[in-house]
Structure 1
Amino acid sequence: MTPGEQRLLLDTVVVPLHELPRDDEAVCELRRSTDGQLALPVYDTVEDLVACCGRAQPWMAVRTDRVAELADATGADLVVPGLELPPELRHGDRQ
């Protein structure tokens, strides 16, 4: 990874998607919290996303200063860093 790529990653988070975007339209994968709120999961790195969501999880990078705007646009009630999915819900990790 180059120094420029490292600097870019410091200002971004990784957001899981339902599928890879087509026609410039991405659909974020939201989850319900235990109290019923709609949560937008975010991860510091792709490695964190893979560990929590599975190796085949589609994703996109989002600037950290745009996360609140994304949460509003998706209808999320809260942003949850590092949300770990149960193994049976992970993409590409199903037995």
Structure 2
Amino acid sequence: MDTLKVVYLGNSPALRELSEWADRHGIEAVESSDDGAACAVVDQTAQTRSSSAMKRLRDRHLPCLSVSRGWCFLASAVGRGLNPVV
């Protein structure tokens, strides 16, 4: 089984809940796209800010998902054995 790596950006309760669930299901949280991340999950506050972290994700063309889309993507990946099509 491959390890899916995800960047989480933000600090909302919904994002924390997703990252905790993902951790329990074998999804690894990483700090940047340089660490082999398949995508980023970004909460609403982080999406609207012009932070350097958000700019780096966009510059590297890393898919940035909302928390609700992150749930869909990660749950689907877990259901398929962590072999997502990105």
Structure scoring higher RCO (CA < 8 A, sep ≥ 6) equals: 2
Tell which structure's C-alpha radius of gyration is larger.
1
Which is helix-richer, 1 or 2? 2
Q: For the superposition of Structure 1 and Structure 2, which TM-score range results when normalised by the shorter chain?
A: under 0.3
TM-score by length of 2: 0.27
TM-score by length of 1: 0.26
